[in-house]
Amino acid sequence: MTRLLRHASFAAIALVTLSTGCALSEAHEAPPEPMLPTTHLRLATYNTSLYADTSGGLIERLENDDAGARSVAAVLQRVRPDIVLLNEFDYDESHRAADLFQQRYLEVAQPGGSEPLHYPYRYLAPVNTGLQSGLDLDGNGAIGGEGRERGNDAWGYGLHPGQYGMLVLSLYPIDTEAARTFQLLKWSAMPDARQPRDPATGTPHYPPQIWSQLRLSSKSHWDVPVRTPGGTLHMLAAHPTPPVFDGPEDRNGARNADEIRLWREYISAEETTWLCDDTGHCGGLDADARFVIAGDLNNDPADGDGRHEAILELLEHPRVVRMATPRSEGAVEAAARYSGITRVGDPGHATGDYGPRTGTLRLDYVLPSVGLSVKDSGVFWPKAGEPGAELVEASDHRLVWVDVEIRSER
C-alpha cells in the first residue's frame, strides 16, 4: 500500500487596506501556523494460528511449504498493513520461524495474494506460554507431567516454551532499546486484582504461596515504540488468556479481565508505581504518547464468555479514540449459519468463527489513541465466492485493520 506524506503550504497573506475618514492605514494579519505533515498508516492485528504442539514444530511447518502460512501471507499481501501484530506465532530464540515466514512466504507472491511484502523491522521476545512455573498450578498434586497437565502448570498454558507467541512486523524502524515487556509482572501486584475464589465458600482458589508468584500475563504485554515519519507510535501488544477452560472459580475469566485491565492502567494518569516492566522500570505510558492497542484480547463486548466490563472499560477509556467498529459482510454471512445461537452484539463486528458451539465473536482489536485521525477500518472477511474468501480458513480469527493519520510532532 502506498504511504502518503501530505504537506500543506500556504500563500502569503494579502495586505488589507482600511480607510477611516481621510486617513489610510494598513493592517497586517499574522500568517497562520503551517500545517504539519501527516503520515498515513494502516495498523492491523491477526491471530494467525501459526503454532505447533512440539518445540520447533512451526519451523518444520514453514520449511515444508505450509498451506496455512501461505494463506496468512496472502491475506497480509492483500491488506498490506504498515505495522501488524501477529498472535499465535510460535517464538524461538533463533528467530528462525520469523525469518522463514518473511523470506519464503511474505516475500513470495502467494496464490490469492498480491505483490510480495517485505517488512524490514520486527519485534519478538519470550512469552509465558509453555514456560514451566515449577508450581502445582492446576492443583492435581503433581508438578509438570505430560501433555495438558504439563501445560496447565506453565505460567501460561502451552505445551512448550514459546507456543502461541507474538510477532510485530513493521515497515518503519522499531526502537528496540526503548521497548518494554511485562512478562514477569505478578498478578498480585495489581491493586484490587481479581483473585479467583471458590464461589461456594469465598476462599481463594490459589494458596498464598502460589498466588504471590503467579504472573499476570499469559503470554506477555509489550510496548513497542515504532518510529514512523509522523513521530513515535507505541504498539501495545498482548494476547490475554481465553476466559474458558477452567472451573466455577473462573480463574481464566478473572485473568483475562485483569490482563485487559493492565492496558487500561498503563494508559491512565493514575499512579502506577506497581506497574513495573521486566527491567524494573515502573509506571505507565507518557500522557502525550500516541499509541495503538492491538491483539486478540479474547473478550467480546456483549456475547460469549468473559467479563465484558473489562473490554468495555478499555473501549470507553478517554485516551482511546471513538471510532466506527470494524466490520465485514463475511461475518454477517457466517453468523447466519448459527441460527441456534442468540447474539446481542452486531454480527458484522465479529472477528472470528469458532464453530457451532461458540459461533462468531468479536475478539480482535485495533484501538488507536486520541491524537490519531481514523480514516477507515475493516475486517478481512470476504463473503463466500468473493476474491480472497478462500484464504480466511487459515485461522479461526480474521485480520482487523484500521487506517489512521499521524501528524508530525513539532
Q: Show the domains of the chain with their CATH numbers.
A: 41-127+162-407 (3.60.10.10)
pLDDT at residue 410 in the model: 63
Residues 365 and 323: beta-carbon distance below 8 Å = no
- Average pLDDT over the chain, rounded to an integer: 92
171-230 pLDDT, tens digit each: 999 999 999 999 999 999 999 999 999 999 999 999 999 999 999 999 999 999 999 999
Q: Which three cell numbers stand for residue 123?
A: 519485534
Q: Is the dihedral of CA 53, 55, 59, 60 positive or negative?
A: negative
139-171 pLDDT, tens digit each: 999 999 999 999 999 999 999 999 999 999 999
Return the amino acid letter for 186: K
pLDDT at residue 214 in the model: 98
* pLDDT(292) > 90: yes
SS3 (DSSP) at 85? strand
Residues 116 and 84: beta-carbon distance below 8 Å = no
CA 299-327-319 angle, 5° bins: 60
Q: Which three cell numbers stand for residue 302?
A: 456483549
Return the closest-CA partner of residue 73 out of 120, 112, 44, 99.
Answer: 112
CA 118-45-315 angle, 5° bins: 150
Per-residue confidence band for 407, with pLDDT thresholds at 50, 70 and 90: confident
Contacts of 162 (CB under 8 A, 6+ apart): 55, 90, 91, 92, 126, 127, 129, 130
Return the amino acid letter for 126: P
Packing angle between helix 308-315 and helix 251-266, nearest 10 degrees? 10
* pLDDT(10) > 80: no
> What is the pTM for the complete model shown?
0.90
326-359 pLDDT, tens digit each: 999 999 999 999 999 999 999 999 999 999 999 9
